[in-house]
């Protein structure tokens, strides 16, 4: 726990001045105290600090756990299911990783002091290895192992119950690590302790999930095990069944509205690269809580631009980014980002020094934020994906990995994998509505690639300029997008400069209302990057061709 209380004698429990708990603050013979509710530790005559509640060690080999007939009213069959028993007169249980391997064990010592052996960082939720995600079932989450087993026993060990491994103080952090698993269930029932710390933790955890996905269980006693020991199992069962959806305060009127208006801050814009000067004048850049659409004809450069934007915001902001490129393998996405940073087309170069390449790759993909989350999270799957899987992954990337910018390429592949029952427009409307809702719910930015239809006199690949009516699929795209950007270039032009110059247009910008042609972008075939270009002089070229 960051202090040597294991070398001192535990004396008694008392109240905690830090969090207000009446009985969670342990007092030791050396004068130190440690609260097992809020994790606040104080040293005798040397000040205080807050720390994790766990002790960790290396060189782990699982201990042999003896399963008694019962512990705190929990029968042997339940203890055996959860692998909870006794080692050296201390309560002990195994913890597993996502693959179901034992990676750590946790001890509950006398006086409610806890210790870990093994790699606690890899541990999932207590009991998680016993259940598979099932959209037809609810999952109950408790604040401690004993409470989880108490509820499981009540349900004949047939329905999913897990516990956070480090109590209320670390509940939000532990839940974020395992969000993808939890989102695989129909709903969550939170059954944390009936005290201020437990209630606060329940609110923090609930806010991580979609509206109405989490229900709060209210108990008449402190926790589920107290209910079991007091012979009030039927009341515990009723409390679980009557759990109410978590609904944060959100209906305002009168002076509350005026207060919100007076405290409102201007939405912060994050500019595009400097070579997109006119686009920045028209739009100011991207903003969180917005959904933007990028479109062009085939091979016009939209994916190239997206990757350049990804690297640009990596260098100019502190935001983590999630990259979901469904049209190419993860390795291609990663290699292109490295190529942009090295200003070269790696796929065309055989003379690149491998060491330099890997050094740059490590710089990008080992970069982390202040919480240890990677600056880039890449989705590793080629092709279509189910809608619910997509939305859950985005929630996990934002809530679990703290990604604020999401890039999704592209909409047509999403539609192909979502079983539209012959009604593509309705499917696209639903996807756009869900993605837009996610930007608001999660406070993230989503950049979405959308393809075009062929309703144009001049083919887009020959320089035809798209309009919002050329977006392939549904009117919901142009209605729900905050901004829409289009690429156009004449890929068949005789002149090489014209052939590699694209016009970047703003078809819609809800934030400023400004639209129209913006920047000419030139593709540098050596660096593999777009840069500031000039409007091709097509008139002069035509006159030359006709001998004028």
Find out whether 30 and 50 touch, Cβ atoms under 8 Å: no
What is each CA distance from 58 to 55, 62, 118, 165, in whole angstroms?
11, 12, 6, 18
- Identify the helix (H) or strand (E) that includes residue 449: strand 445-450
Find out whether 63 and 92 touch, Cβ atoms under 8 Å: yes
- What is the band of 416 on the pLDDT scale with cuts at 50, 70, 90? low
**Residue 222 clears pLDDT 70, i.e. is over it:** yes
Classify residue 293 by burial, with Cβ atoms within 10 Å: 0-12, 13-18, 19+: buried
Lookup result for tokens 């590699």: 500
**Residue 530 clears pLDDT 90, i.e. is over it:** yes
Find out whether 105 and 84 touch, Cβ atoms under 8 Å: no
Radius of gyration of the chain measured on its C-alpha atoms: 29
Share of the chain above pLDDT 90, in %: 60
For 267-270, which contacts have Cβ atoms below 8 Å and span 24 or more sequence positions? Answer: 267/511, 269/511, 270/313, 270/316, 270/317
- DSSP code per residue over 59-105: S------B--SEETTEEHHHHHHHTEEEETTEEEEEEE-TTS-EEEE
Residues 527 and 456: their CA atoms lie apart, in Å, by 32
Find out whether 164 and 125 touch, Cβ atoms under 8 Å: yes
Residue 430 has which token pair?
Answer: 């639903």
Q: In this predicted structure, what is the pLDDT of residue 59?
A: 56
Q: In this predicted structure, what is the pLDDT of residue 430?
A: 86
Q: Which fold has domain 70-82+118-245?
A: Dna Topoisomerase Vi A Subunit; Chain: A, domain 2 (3.40.1360)
- What is the band of 7 on the pLDDT scale with cuts at 50, 70, 90? very low
CATH class held by domain 5-50:
mainly beta
**Residue 215 clears pLDDT 60, i.e. is over it:** yes
**Is 274-545 assigned to CATH 3.10.580.10?**
no
Q: In this predicted structure, what is the pLDDT of residue 334?
A: 93
Q: In this predicted structure, what is the pLDDT of residue 474?
A: 65
Lowest mean pLDDT among 48-57, 149-158, 208-217, 221-230: 48-57
Each residue's pLDDT tens digit, 43-55 = 554 333 333 333 3
Grouping H, G, I as helix, E, B as strand and the rest as coil, residue 463 is coil
Q: In this predicted structure, what is the pLDDT of residue 294?
A: 95
Dihedrals phi, psi of 187, to nearest 5 degrees: -165, 170
For 254, residues 6+ apart whose C-beta sits below 8 A from its C-beta are none
- What is the band of 543 on the pLDDT scale with cuts at 50, 70, 90? very low
**Residue 70 clears pLDDT 60, i.e. is over it:** yes
| Angle at 537 (CA atoms; ends 535, 540), nearest 5 degrees | 170
SS3 sequence of 369-426: CCCCCECEEECCCCCCCCHHHHHHHHHHHHHHCCEEEEEEECHHHHHHCCCCCCCHHH
Each residue's pLDDT tens digit, 513-524 = 999 999 999 999
What is each CA distance from 448 to 301, 324, 432, in whole angstroms?
14, 10, 10
**Residue 536 clears pLDDT 80, i.e. is over it:** yes
Q: Dihedral sign, CA of 480, 481, 487, 488?
A: positive
Sheet holding 138-142, edge to edge: 161-163, 138-142, 187-191, 214-216, 244-245
- What is the band of 548 on the pLDDT scale with cuts at 50, 70, 90? very low
Each residue's pLDDT tens digit, 128-160 = 999 999 999 999 999 999 999 999 999 999 999
Q: In this predicted structure, what is the pLDDT of residue 153?
A: 97
Residue 447 has which token pair?
Answer: 């950049």
Q: Where are the domains of the chain?
A: 5-50, 70-82+118-245, 274-545
- DSSP code per residue over 261-297: HHH--PPPPBPPPGGGHHHHHHH-SB-TT-EEEEEES
- Identify the helix (H) or strand (E) that includes residue 199: helix 196-206
Residues 488 and 306: their CA atoms lie apart, in Å, by 15
Strand-pair partners of 463: none
Residue 97 has which token pair?
Answer: 């990783």
Dihedrals phi, psi of 487, to nearest 5 degrees: -100, 145
Find out whether 518 and 504 touch, Cβ atoms under 8 Å: yes
Q: In this predicted structure, what is the pLDDT of residue 4?
A: 41
Mean pLDDT value of segment 280-300: 92
Each residue's pLDDT tens digit, 322-378 = 999 888 888 999 999 999 999 998 888 888 888 999 999 999 999 999 989 999 999
Strand-pair partners of 108: 91, 114
Q: How far is CA 344 from the centre of its chain?
A: 31
- DSSP code per residue over 455-524: --SS-TTBTPPP-GGGBSS-HHHHHH-SEEEEEE-BTT-SSHHHHTEEEEEEEEETTT---EEEEEEEEE
Closest CA to 181 of 145, 219, 215, 141: 141
Q: In this predicted structure, what is the pLDDT of residue 36?
A: 64
Mean pLDDT value of segment 78-107: 94
**Looking at residue 466, what DSSP letter applies?**
P
Q: What does pLDDT average to over the chain? A: 85
Mean pLDDT value of segment 418-440: 80
Q: Dihedral sign, CA of 158, 160, 165, 167?
A: negative
Find out whether 68 and 86 touch, Cβ atoms under 8 Å: yes
Lowest mean pLDDT among 73-82, 409-418, 422-431: 409-418
Taking residue 380's Cβ as centre, other Cβ atoms within 10 Å add up to 10
Sheet holding 10-14, edge to edge: 10-14, 25-28, 33-35, 40-43, 47-50
Strand-pair partners of 509: 483
Lookup result for tokens 């035809």: 464
Residue 180 has which token pair?
Answer: 């993808």
Q: Helical H runs in 464-546?
A: 475-480, 496-499, 538-545
Strand-pair partners of 377: 322
């Amino acid at each position: 726990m960051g202090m040597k209380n294991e070398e001192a004698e535990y004396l008694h429990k008392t109240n905690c001045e830090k969090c207000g708990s009446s009985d969670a603050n342990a007092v030791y013979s050396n004068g130190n105290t440690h609260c097992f509710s809020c994790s606040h530790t104080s040293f005798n005559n040397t000040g205080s600090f807050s720390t994790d509640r766990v002790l960790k060690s290396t060189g782990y080999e699982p201990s042999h756990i003896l399963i008694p007939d019962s512990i705190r009213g929990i029968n042997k069959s339940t203890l055996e299911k959860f692998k909870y028993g006794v080692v050296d007169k201390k309560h002990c249980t195994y913890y597993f990783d996502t693959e179901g391997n034992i990676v750590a064990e946790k001890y509950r010592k006398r006086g409610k002091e806890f210790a870990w052996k093994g790699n606690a960082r890899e541990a999932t939720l207590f009991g998680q290895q016993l259940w598979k995600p099932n959209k037809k079932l609810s999952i109950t989450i408790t604040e401690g192992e004993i409470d989880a087993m108490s509820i499981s026993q009540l349900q004949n060990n047939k329905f999913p119950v897990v516990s956070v491994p480090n109590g209320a103080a670390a509940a939000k952090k532990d839940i974020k690590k395992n969000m993808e698993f939890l989102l695989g269930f129909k709903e969550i029932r939170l059954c944390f302790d009936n005290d201020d710390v437990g209630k606060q933790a329940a609110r923090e955890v609930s806010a991580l999930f979609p509206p109405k996905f989490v229900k709060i269980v209210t108990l008449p006693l402190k926790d589920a095990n107290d209910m079991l020991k007091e012979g009030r199992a039927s009341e515990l069962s009723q409390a679980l069944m009557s759990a109410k959806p978590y609904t944060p305060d959100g209906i305002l009127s009168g002076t509350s509205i005026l207060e919100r208006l007076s405290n409102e801050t201007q939405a912060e814009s994050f500019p595009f690269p400097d070579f997109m000067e006119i686009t920045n004048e028209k739009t100011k850049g991207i903003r969180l809580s917005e959904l933007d659409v990028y479109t062009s004809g085939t091979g016009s450069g939209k994916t190239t631009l997206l990757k350049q934007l990804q690297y640009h915001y990596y260098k100019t902001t502190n935001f983590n980014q999630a990259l979901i490129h469904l049209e190419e393998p993860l390795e291609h996405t990663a290699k292109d980002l490295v190529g942009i940073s090295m200003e070269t087309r790696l796929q065309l170069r055989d003379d690149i020094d491998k060491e330099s390449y890997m050094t740059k790759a490590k710089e990008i993909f080992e970069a982390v934020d202040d919480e240890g989350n990677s600056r880039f999270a890449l989705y590793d799957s080629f092709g279509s994906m189910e809608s619910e899987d997509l939305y859950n992954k985005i929630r996990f990337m934002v809530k679990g990995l703290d990604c604020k910018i999401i890039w999704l390429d592209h909409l047509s592949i999403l539609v192909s994998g979502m079983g539209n029952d012959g009604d593509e427009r309705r499917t696209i409307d639903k996807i756009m509505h869900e993605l837009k809702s996610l930007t608001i719910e999660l406070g993230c930015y989503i950049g979405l690639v959308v393809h075009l239809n062929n309703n144009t006199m001049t083919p887009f690949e020959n320089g035809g300029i798209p309009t919002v009516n050329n977006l392939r699929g549904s009117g919901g795209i142009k209605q729900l997008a905050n901004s829409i950007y289009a690429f156009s270039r004449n890929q068949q032009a005789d002149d090489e400069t014209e052939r590699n110059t694209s016009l970047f247009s703003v078809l819609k910008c809800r934030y400023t209302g400004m639209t129209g042609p913006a920047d000419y972008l030139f593709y540098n075939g050596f660096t593999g990057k777009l840069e500031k270009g000039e409007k091709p002089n097509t008139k002069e070229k035509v006159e030359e061709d006709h001998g004028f």
